[in-house]
Amino acid sequence: MNNIELKQVNTGGCCEPAAKINVSLETSLNKELPIAIIGAGPIGLATAAHLANIGERFIIVESGASVGSNILSWGHVRLFSPWQYNIDKIAKKILENQGWNAPDLDQLPLGSELVNEYLKPLANLPEIKPYLLLNTKVVSISKKGLDKMKTDNREKSPFVIYLEQHGRSKRIEARAVIDATGTWSHPNPINADNVWTKEEKELKQYIYYGIPDVKGDHKNKYKGKRVAVVGGGHSAINTILELSQLNDDVEIIWIMRKKNVKDAYGGEDKDSLEARGKLGIRIHQLVDVGQVKVYTPFFIHQFIKTNDGIAITGESEGNEVTISHVDEIIANTGNRPDFSFITEIRLSIDFTTDSVVALAPLIDPNLHSCGTVRPHGEEILRQPEKDFYIVGMKSYGRAPTFLMATGYEQVRSIVAHLSGDFESAKKVELDLPETGVCSSNLSSQSFVQSCCEAEATKC
């Protein structure tokens, strides 16, 4: 049962008594140790719900002040999948048992609604709340008393997890680890070669990495400014649509590496995720009426701060071009997983996508254009380090096509495996939203082929 207590281990040689945390750790037998979930986003919390549902011990560690803290940073953005695909089935069952009323399953929630109406009530359940540590960052994970090279006794040794909480270090042990830390907090740079230059680090006060909220937190930041939005995906489109609410009060420049701006519009009215298709339609219109000035293909190499603002220099169709007088930059150039805290763990990561290696052939954007992927579970996500899993957005590495419904099935299967229900772990099923046309430049034949490969269940 989940009646455990977490003992703090002072790692800094200091002698103050351990801070009281309402969970205790027993180290005598590995099987009595909790399963540690890192990250309380939708996938980490769904893992907690599945473990609670079968009475397995767990602890869930979240660096933010709230569950879903990555999502809250884009809380003003509307999701493109309706509630029915955004709620884990077991989480829903446990919530409903305690009187929760599900939102209208056909509606598209805002990010903030997903957190406030689903993730927070889930985290507050008595089955989960006592085992959730907020404001606690995982900084390292290792195997007890071993370094990465040591094989003897490795599988029997527990994991040790180093945490930072309120400026102090703590060390806990776990029998298995599920890394659900996402990728949102590790954005790519705006440099076209994906390299962090000294200048980009120094000029960070002029660059916002994410989707600004022009009616909320960033109310006055962009008014009257010349703003360069960098990136060609849905986040960049969301950013430009946000900025466009300022009408003539903002000058929008859109910089991307794509051959043609049309490649950024996506499936538009052919996208079977209607809300996502609409984003493409709206941005297409804004470009056509000249509200957005597009530079593409444009490869940013450098930028400097001048007396007249920022000058962005890059290459466009073989010529060096400078875009001057830019006041603010918004970077939407994708995200990458953070492996810095799991360098002592034996991992198998794909060299193209940075995803879990066995997942790569299913999601590599060089091969697939569709957002859906064949359902997969524990077997595909298994790492060389026994009982260590990377799940959720992070399991896809740099590939941007992850959907929550995929993650819910991932963790259902892993939890079944860790609790010894191997048959259920192997039986992976998934009811995904049809993501349809994701790339408008595919011929219908290659579209069907690519969707068939990706969506084995649908073709």
Ligand X SMILES: Cc1cc2nc3c(=O)[nH]c(=O)nc-3n(C[C@H](O)[C@H](O)[C@H](O)COP(=O)(O)OP(=O)(O)OC[C@H]3O[C@@H](n4cnc5c(N)ncnc54)[C@H](O)[C@@H]3O)c2cc1C
Contact 230, 333 (CB under 8 A): yes
> At a CB cut-off of 8 Å and minimum separation 6, what does 304 contact?
199, 310, 311, 313
Cα–Cα distances in angstroms (integers) from residue 175 to residues 28, 129, 155, 157, 233, in the given order: 11, 20, 10, 8, 39
Closest residue by Cα to residue 60 from 154, 156, 161, 191:
161
Q: Which of residues 146-175 bind ligand X (CB under 6 A)?
A: none
Residue 298 makes contact with ligand X by CB under 6 A: no
Nearby residues of 13 by Cβ (< 8 Å), 6 or more positions away: none
Report the nearest approach of ligand X to the CB of residue 389 (Å): 12
**Count of helices and strands (H, E) across the chain:** 14, 16
Q: Which of 392, 408, 413, 415 binds ligand X (CB under 6 A)?
A: 392
Residue 141 sits at φ, ψ, to 5 deg, of -130, 135
CA-angle at 449, arms to 448 and 455, nearest 5°: 80
Q: Tokens 């209607």 — which residue?
A: 274
Figure out which of the listed residues 209, 407, 417, 436 binds ligand X, where binding follows CB under 6 A.
407
- Which is nearest to 407 in space by CA: 387, 388, 431, 391? 391
Task: Note whether 181 binds ligand X by CB under 6 A.
Answer: yes
Q: Pick from 25, 37, 77, 94: which binds ligand X (CB under 6 A)?
A: 77
Q: In angstroms, what is the minimal distance from the CB of 74 to ligand X?
A: 5
Q: Which of 433, 440, 438, 437 is nearest to 458 (CA)?
A: 433
Considering the rule CB under 6 A, would residue 277 count as an interface residue with ligand X?
Answer: no
Our finding on whether 188 is near ligand X (CB under 6 A) is no
**Stretch binding ligand X (CB under 6 A), from 22-30, 219-227, 241-249, 403-411:** 403-411
| 356 in contact with ligand X (CB under 6 A) | no
DSSP 1: -
Q: Exposed (0-12), middle (13-18) or buried (19+): which is 177, by Cβ within 10 Å?
A: buried
User: Minimum distance from CB of 199 to ligand X (Å)?
Assistant: 26
Q: Is 79 in the site for ligand X (CB under 6 A)?
A: yes
Binding mask 324-343 for ligand X (x = CB under 6 A): -----------------x--
Instruction: Based on the shown chain and the rule CB under 6 A, indicate whether residue 280 belongs to the binding site for ligand X.
Output: no
- Contact, 416 vs 428, CB < 8 A? no
Contact 169, 147 (CB under 8 A): no
Query: Footprint of ligand X on residues 36-65 (CB under 6 A)?
Result: 38-44, 61-64
Choices 51-59, 221-229, 348-356, 398-406 (CB under 6 A): range interacting with ligand X: 398-406
DSSP 117: I
Q: Least distance in Å: CB of 304 to ligand X?
A: 30
Should residue 182 be labelled a site residue for ligand X when binding is judged by CB under 6 A? yes
Q: Contact between 296 and ligand X (CB under 6 A)? A: no
Is residue 435 part of the contact set for ligand X (CB under 6 A)? no
Site for ligand X in 215-244 (CB under 6 A): 235
Q: What are the two backbone dihedrals, phi and then psi, of residue 84, each rounded to the nearest 5 degrees?
A: -60, -30
* Binds ligand X by CB under 6 A, chosen from 2, 30, 69, 413: 69
> Is 295 a residue that touches ligand X (CB under 6 A)?
no
Asked if residues 344 and 148 have their Cβ atoms less than 8 Å apart, the reply is: yes
Q: Applying CB under 6 A, which part among 21-29, 52-60, 68-76, 352-360 lies near ligand X?
A: 68-76
Query: Interface with ligand X by CB under 6 A: which range of 78-86, 120-128, 263-271, 420-428?
Result: 78-86
CB of 185 to ligand X, least distance (A): 6
Footprint of ligand X (CB under 6 A): 38-44, 61-64, 68-71, 74, 77, 79-81, 137-138, 180-182, 184-185, 211, 235, 341, 392-393, 402-404, 407
